[in-house]
């Protein structure tokens, strides 16, 4: 099985990053979504179609309606874990090794590298919320096998974001995996605004995996939490 190799063009990754830098919507390498320049809020922003009450991670949680699954061989993103994605959300693999190569632009290559690597992990997949009417991504990051536990991986991931503060860590169980979870805020010095973000980490024989949910702002983040909870409650190691 191959992990983290997909069809996302390096030009798209660089363009998205440059858009975020130009508009001040995010900081390179710091959990930026950079998607607000081309997508507007809909009248239904703040709602997730088909959301319901479903048991997950050992407790009752509000989760989004299921739209499919990723992680297995032949899925949009082949990963060390599988999980369900929300209805209408679109998953696409990220080829971090190719991002920025061949553009002839050294700055673009450096920015792409900063965007695609955070702490001990590298971006492997983006699940886009725009088709469902929200502005943000559920991003999947993968790393090399090692001795670090899920909490340590998550602490390094958050610690690599210089804008992050007030982390609140907890543990969860799903699909035979025990992982760590964090809720925190990031602060844009340019906009002088803060927003909420969420992430979780698990370790597998193939290496650690981090799922991160950002969003254009706190309102969008909270609107997308049912999709994040769906992913967490259905998470399991790839067979």
Return the pLDDT at 20. Answer: 38
User: Quick check: helix, strand or coil at residue 73?
Assistant: coil
Structure tokens at 230: 């769906």
The architecture (CATH level 2) of 10-31+61-237 comes to: 3-Layer(aba) Sandwich (3.40)
Q: What is the reported pLDDT for 11? A: 38
Cα–Cα dist 86/70, whole Å:
11
Q: Which residue has the higher pLDDT, 97 or 158?
A: 158
**Res. 24: pLDDT tops 50:** no
Percent of the chain's residues with pLDDT above 90:
63
| pLDDT over 90 (residue 192) | no
Whether the pLDDT of residue 9 is over 50: the answer is no
Neighbouring CB atoms inside 10 A of 60's CB total 10
Q: pLDDT digit string (tens) for 90-103? A: 999 999 877 656 55
**pLDDT at site 32:** 39
Tens digits of residue pLDDT in 116-152: 999 999 999 999 999 999 999 999 999 999 999 999 9
| Mean pLDDT, rounded, of the chain | 79
| Beta strand segments in the chain, E | 52-56, 59-63, 66-70, 81-86, 90-93, 117-118, 121-128, 137-142, 164-174, 177-188, 193-204, 207-213, 236-237
Q: How confident is the model at residue 191 (pLDDT cuts 50, 70, 90)?
A: confident
If one compares 3 and 138, the residue with the highest pLDDT of the two is: 138
Residue range 64-75, pLDDT digits in tens: 999 999 999 999
């Amino acid at each position: 099985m191959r992990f983290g190799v997909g069809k996302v063009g390096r030009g798209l990754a660089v363009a998205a990053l440059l858009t975020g830098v130009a508009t001040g919507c995010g900081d390179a390498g710091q959990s930026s979504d950079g998607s607000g320049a081309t997508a507007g809020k809909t009248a239904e922003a703040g709602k997730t179609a088909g959301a319901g009450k479903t048991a997950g991670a050992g407790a009752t949680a509000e989760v989004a309606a299921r739209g499919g699954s990723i992680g297995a061989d032949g899925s949009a993103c082949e990963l060390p874990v599988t999980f369900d994605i929300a209805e209408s959300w679109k998953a696409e693999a990220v080829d971090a090794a190719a991002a920025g190569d061949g553009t002839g632009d050294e700055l673009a290559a450096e920015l792409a590298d900063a965007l695609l690597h955070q702490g001990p992990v590298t971006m492997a997949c983006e699940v886009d919320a725009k088709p469902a009417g929200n502005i943000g991504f559920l991003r999947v990051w993968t790393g090399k096998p090692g001795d670090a536990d899920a909490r340590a991986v998550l602490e390094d991931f958050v610690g690599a974001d210089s804008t992050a503060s007030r982390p609140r860590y907890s543990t969860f169980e799903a699909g035979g995996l025990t992982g760590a979870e964090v809720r925190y805020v990031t602060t844009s010095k340019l906009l002088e605004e803060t927003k909420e973000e969420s992430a979780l980490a698990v370790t597998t024989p193939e290496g650690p995996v981090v799922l991160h949910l950002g969003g254009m702002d706190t309102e969008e983040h909270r609107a997308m939490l049912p999709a994040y909870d769906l992913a967490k409650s259905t998470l399991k190691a790839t067979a």
